[in-house]
């Protein structure tokens, strides 16, 4: 059969260049012929710079410092009928542009809305219209003055009487036809990823709502938001390798904080009953689907609250935050519906460990645990102490089991070796009053009854320092300043924290997909 083609329309100027559309008469496919962009990017930039020079040559600024905008595009579309026959001024970035002889149509966006703008030689004047055609491109920011009308297809449109440049774009915006599909490129140029993909823009709006809801809940419960130092002389509050920096004025090395915990607990010593912070923390550790080195975390501390009060409070906080952010307590994760409603079951750490490994943590030695790890091909560094080995075995062999951590659970009664900052259980000194939230196959928050006995705390720090001396870079450092604060007296308290990893998991995404500018290796 002889192939025949039907021309469908005029030239379309889009983000990627010039497109000619044809339709095969004898098949359903569309063929798009595109002038390649990537191999002539330098030429395009040179052309746009020449247009910039042309604008400046007639005494106009391509980057003026003011605009006469009267309405946002959202205001225009929402009050359209009230604005008919009124002269208004709108601004925005050109996202599409069609040139049709003596006419031109563009769509502009200002961050809040989108509107079509109609340019006509008769309305603008021949000279101004030709100047627009010659020098304005997709990606440029413009100001247009005119009156509103509806097209034959009922599209809300502004008929421009004048137009001027607000910011000349020197690089062409990518499109679906021009190189922004690669994930590495998208993450490196996240501003373009957000600009071109509405779902990504919505994701970060939702993330802001997530933190707003968290803050709103805590403040509604009487918690005071605090802002603790990022630079610390001693990194504490977690088992993690810190980043080190040098303070020139003090001629002293400081650490970027790995946790919000210890300074906030000093505020309990100071007499504040409820405190929290949402802030950045830094851990010099590996990158994977759930971990980054620079991220946002939240921690709160509540004087006179006990372990049971904490669990009830955390469940309420999660349910409030999830509902405010997503509008439902049933979220999808890797094909399964995760139900955050109701009361979450409790799982006992010792019981789970014995059930799935056969090891009784009440009597197991470090040597037995290390031998088990070796037999199960779990990598354990020589410097790792008993607590680290227990934790590694649990994470590798137990935590990911669907019945353990897919639906929300409280994991309670952890061994004392894995948590040096939690209070011992009065009924069992081998156990600390710590709980973790397990869901979606991961840990999604941790809290405990805070250790406020300075002598016990000093002893635990001493054990951690022995591990550091053996080479464990993540073991906690001795913080004499914190111990001194405890010696003045800290009330019994509960504390809890989670990171922005929660938001990533709620959205069934890797954490770096939900970070605006994740740290990355240099481009090849």
- Output the CA torsion sign for 308, 309, 312, 313: negative
Task: Give the SS3 label for residue 180.
Answer: coil
- In the prediction, which pLDDT does 19 show? 36
pLDDT score, position 5: 31
DSSP track, 288-339: BTTB-SEEEEEEEEEET--HHHHHHHHHHHHHHHHHHHHS-SEEEETTEEEE
pLDDT tens across 267-298, in order? Answer: 999 999 999 999 999 999 888 888 889 999 99
- The mean per-residue pLDDT over the stretch 373-378 comes to 94
Is beta strand 114-120 parallel, antiparallel or unpaired with respect to 103-109?
A: antiparallel
Q: How much is the pLDDT for 179?
A: 52
pLDDT of residue 8 exceeding 90, the answer is no
More confident residue, 381 or 212: 212
For residue 1, pLDDT beyond 90:
no
Task: Compute the mean pLDDT over every residue in the chain, rounded to the nearest whole number.
Answer: 89
* pLDDT of 124 strictly over 90: yes
Instruction: Count CB neighbours of 156 within 10 A.
Output: 17
Residues 42-167, CATH architecture: Beta Barrel (2.40)
Question: Which segment of 12-26, 144-158, 481-495 scores lowest on mean pLDDT?
Answer: 12-26
Q: What is the pLDDT of residue 28?
A: 32
User: Has residue 27 got a pLDDT over 50?
Assistant: no
Count of CB atoms situated within 10 Å of the CB of 416 = 19
pLDDT at position 181: 64
Helices and strands in the chain, H and E counts? 17, 23
* pTM for this entry: 0.85
Alpha helices (runs of H) in 163-292, residue ranges in sequence order:
183-188, 190-196, 198-220, 261-270
Fold of 191-514: BirA Bifunctional Protein; domain 2 (3.30.930)
Please say whether the beta carbons of 176 and 19 come within 8 A: no
pLDDT tens across 404-437, in order? Answer: 999 999 999 999 999 888 999 988 989 999 999 9
Per domain, the residue ranges of the chain are 42-167, 191-514
Q: Per-residue pLDDT for 29 more than 50? A: no
How many whole angstroms separate alpha carbon 187 and alpha carbon 377?
34
**Residue-wise pLDDT tens digits, 40-99:** 889 999 999 999 999 999 999 999 999 999 999 999 999 999 999 999 999 999 999 999
Q: Taking residues 336-346, what's their average pLDDT? A: 97
The rounded percent of the chain whose pLDDT value lies above 90 is 76
Task: DSSP letter for 397, please.
Answer: I
Task: Report how far residue 94's alpha carbon sits from residue 437's, in angstroms, rounded to the nearest whole number.
Answer: 47
Instruction: Give the rounded distance of the alpha carbon of 421 from its chain centre.
Output: 29
Find the mean pLDDT for residues 442-449: 95
Average pLDDT over residues 476-487: 92
For residues 338 and 301, the answer to whether their CB atoms sit within 8 Å is no
pLDDT at position 180 is 62
């Amino acid at each position: 059969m002889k192939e025949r083609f039907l021309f469908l329309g005029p030239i379309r100027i889009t983000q990627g260049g010039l497109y000619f559309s044809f339709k095969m008469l004898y098949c359903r496919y569309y063929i798009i012929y595109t002038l390649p962009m990537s191999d002539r990017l330098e030429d395009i930039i040179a052309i746009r710079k020449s247009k910039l020079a042309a604008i400046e040559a007639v005494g106009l600024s391509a980057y003026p410092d003011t605009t006469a905008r009267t309405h946002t595009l959202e205001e225009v579309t929402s009050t359209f009928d009230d604005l008919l026959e009124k002269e208004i001024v709108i601004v925005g970035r050109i996202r599409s542009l069609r040139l049709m002889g003596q006419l031109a149509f563009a769509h502009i966006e200002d961050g809040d809305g989108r509107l079509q703008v109609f340019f006509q030689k008769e309305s603008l004047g021949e000279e101004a219209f030709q100047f627009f055609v010659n020098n304005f491109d997709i990606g440029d920011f413009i100001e247009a003055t005119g009156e509103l009308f509806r097209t034959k297809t009922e599209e809300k449109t502004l008929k421009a009487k004048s137009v001027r440049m607000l910011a000349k774009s020197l690089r062409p915006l990518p499109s679906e036809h021009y190189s922004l599909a690669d994930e590495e490129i998208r993450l490196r140029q996240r501003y373009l990823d957000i600009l071109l993909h509405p779902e990504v823009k919505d994701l970060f709006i939702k993330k802001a709502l997530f933190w707003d809801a968290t803050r709103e809940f805590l403040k509604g419960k009487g918690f005071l938001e605090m802002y603790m130092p990022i630079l610390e002389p001693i990194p504490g509050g977690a088992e993690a390798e810190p980043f080190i920096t040098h303070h020139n004025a003090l001629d002293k090395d400081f650490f970027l904080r790995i946790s919000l915990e210890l300074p906030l607990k000093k505020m309990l010593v100071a007499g504040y009953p409820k405190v929290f912070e949402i802030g950045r923390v830094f851990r010099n550790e590996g990158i994977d689907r759930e971990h980054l080195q620079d991220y946002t975390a939240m921690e709160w501390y509540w004087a006179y609250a006990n372990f049971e009060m904490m669990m009830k409070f955390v469940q309420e906080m999660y349910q409030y935050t999830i509902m405010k952010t997503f509008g439902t307590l049933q979220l999808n994760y890797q094909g399964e519906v995760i139900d955050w409603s109701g009361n979450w079951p409790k799982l006992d750490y010792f019981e789970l460990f014995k059930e799935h490994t056969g090891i009784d943590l009440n009597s197991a030695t470090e040597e037995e645990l290390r031998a088990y790890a070796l037999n199960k091909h779990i990598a354990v560094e020589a410097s790792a102490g008993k607590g680290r080995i227990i934790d590694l075995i649990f994470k590798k062999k137990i935590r990911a089991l669907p019945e353990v951590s897919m639906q929300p659970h409280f994991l309670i009664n952890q061994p004392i070796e894995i948590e040096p900052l939690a209070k011992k259980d009065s009924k069992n000194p081998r156990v600390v009053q710590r709980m973790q939230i397990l869901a979606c196959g991961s840990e999604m928050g941790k809290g405990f009854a805070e250790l406020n006995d300075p002598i016990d705390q000093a002893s635990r720090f001493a054990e951690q320092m022995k591990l550091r001396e053996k080479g464990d870079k993540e073991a906690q450092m001795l913080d004499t300043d914190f111990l001194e604060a405890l010696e003045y007296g800290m009330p019994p308290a509960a504390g809890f924290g989670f990171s922005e990893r929660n938001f990533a998991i709620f959205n069934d995404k890797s954490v770096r997909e939900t970070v605006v500018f994740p740290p990355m290796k240099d481009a090849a």
